[in-house]
Structures are given as structure tokens and as C-alpha cells.
Amino acid sequence: MTWLQEVFGRNKVVIGMVNCPPLPGTPRYDSQKGMRFILKRAEHDLLALQEGGIDAVLFHNENDRPFVTDIGPEIVATMARAITQVLPKVMVPFGVDVLADTRSALAIALATGAAFVREDSGSWIDESGELLRYRRKIGADAVKLVFSINTEVLAQRELALVAHGAASYFGADAVSVAYVGTPDREAAIPEAREVLPEGHVPHASVRTSDLAIVKRATSAPVFVNVGSRKENVAEQLAIADGVIVGSDLKVGGITWNEVDPTRVRAYMAAVDTVPGR
């Protein structure tokens, strides 16, 4: 039995994003709306995802852009409070992602009982030694680490080598794959990147050929990290062990909007066509 089956009870896992509104101290934080708005949005998105049949959720500070690595204690405190506030209503496994400070994410995960942490910046290739030591130091060994493979990491080494090393050398419990490519590959395959309406985050879908390379190269579970939609999720899950999905579940398909339970149900209906899920 894999840890995915132990934690999520699934062979193929769908993780939906609870993207907190901008947190205190960040450029887009709205002091007029304050903490009440942050807590209300977190609860709404959690319940909407669960109502739609999601397998798990990931609490994230997506709206704190542009990100910094030296986040303040106000970010840790606010995320911990938001998760704790909704914890009595959490009915599925959950994780934490703090851009760009995975040590803080681990601390929040330990304090709130999260099952996993996603490292989403690609910095694990330089920082995993310190990160794994920190996980051991604070007694968070049960918290699984999902390391993201993205363009910045790929620029240093071939995709298969990065994927293999993530688990075998750097200690990843799972890897998540964003769009991987170089400018010349994008020019050669223009359909890999889409032109989206204003307000959308222009994430291209992960190519199934890249997913297959990663899947063959590592023994760790493989997730689609960005660009999953109801139209392509079945094809992705034919290869990957799971998806982490945000924008396609939001009102209008826009990342910064609240979760739309109707879109969640439509997405999960597509997921449920995957054999052996």
C-alpha cells in the first residue's frame, strides 16, 4: 500500500486549493476587510471543495505575490489561525503550502495536523538538506513532502534526472510537475501555452509526454501541479497519481476568485471516469 492510499484512501488523488486572500504585511492585504475576510474565504472554499467531492485540500498563500523567502511571523500566525478556525469542518486530508518558506509550512503542518506540505518554488534542489533536517528536528516526520519540478529546476538538469533525484537523493515523498520546457521548446510547440482572458493565471498544461518521463524516472507518486482542467484531467490521471488543481475550480476559472462548487462537481465527474481510482 502506498502512502497515498494510507492518507487519502485513493489510488488517484485530487487535491483542491484553498487560496487564502492576501495575508497581513503583503502588498495586496486589505486592512479594511481584515482577518474576518480571510477566515470567511478559507471556510467558504473548504466547504465548497468538500461539497463538490474533493479528495483533499491544500491551504496556500497564493495571493501573497510577489513572494519572499523571509516571510514574517504574521504570515505563519495568520495561516495557522485560518486553518485552526476551519479545522472542525475539515472532512478530508489537508496540506499546507507557504510560498516561499517551506520550513514555515512544515511548522504550520505540524501544529495543525496536516498530512503533507508542498514545496512549490523549486528551491528544494538547493535546500532539501536543511528542510529534511528541520522536519526531523521538530518531530514532523509524518508530514509528507511534495517537491515541485518546474522550469527553473529543469534548466539545471534533464527532466528525468531531476525526477529521479527528487526522491532517491533529495528525499521527496512525492513530486508535482508544472509545465516544463525551454523557450525553444515553447516556440516549437506553441499549443503548449494558451492565451487566457484577463484575470487568469497563464499556466500551461503539463504535457503527458513529460508526465510519462517523470513517472518512469521516479518511484515516488507523481502529481500534476498546475494546468489541470476537467477537459484534460482524465488524460493526466491515466499517467499521474494525482492532481493539484486551483483555477479550474474557481468562479469563472480565475485563480483569485472563490471556489465554485458547481465547477468542482463537474471536475470531479470527469475524474470519476478514470479506471481504478
Residue among 29, 132, 7, 135 nearest 75 (CA) = 29
Question: Is pLDDT of 194 > 50?
Answer: no
* Angle made by CA atoms 181, 185, 190, in degrees to the nearest 5: 105
Q: Going along the chain, which residue ranges are E strands?
A: 13-19, 56-60, 94-97, 116-119, 144-149, 174-177, 222-224, 242-245
Peptide bond into 100 cis (omega under 30): yes
Are the beta carbons of 119 and 130 closer than 8 angstroms? no
- The pLDDT of residue 188 is 36
Q: What is the mean pLDDT of the chain?
A: 90
Strands, DSSP E only, in 98-214?
116-119, 144-149, 174-177
User: Rg of the chain's alpha carbons, rounded to an integer?
Assistant: 17
Confidence check: pLDDT of 193 > 60: no
Residues 77, 83, 86, CA angle at the centre, nearest 5°? 135
* Confidence (pLDDT) at 16: 98
> Of the candidates 124, 100, 125, 121, which has an alpha carbon nearest to the alpha carbon of residue 225?
121
Least confident of 22-31, 175-184, 250-259: 175-184
**In the predicted model, what is the mean pLDDT of residues 47-73?**
95
Kindly report, residue by residue over 103-116, the tens digit of the pLDDT.
999 999 999 999 99
The CATH class that applies to domain 3-271 reads alpha beta
* Total number of residues shown for the chain: 277
Q: For residue 140, what is the enclosing H or E element?
A: none
Q: Residue written as cell 521516479?
A: 218
* DSSP letters spanning 61-103: -GGGPSP-SS--HHHHHHHHHHHHHHGGG--S-EEEE-TT-HH
Instruction: Specify the DSSP class assigned to residue 136.
Output: H
Q: Do 97 and 75 touch, CB atoms closer than 8 A? A: no
Domains in the chain: boundaries = 3-271
Q: Give the model's pLDDT for residue 183.
A: 41
- Under the banding of pLDDT at 50, 70 and 90, the label for residue 151 is low
Q: 231: burial class by Cβ within 10 Å (0-12, 13-18, 19+)?
A: exposed
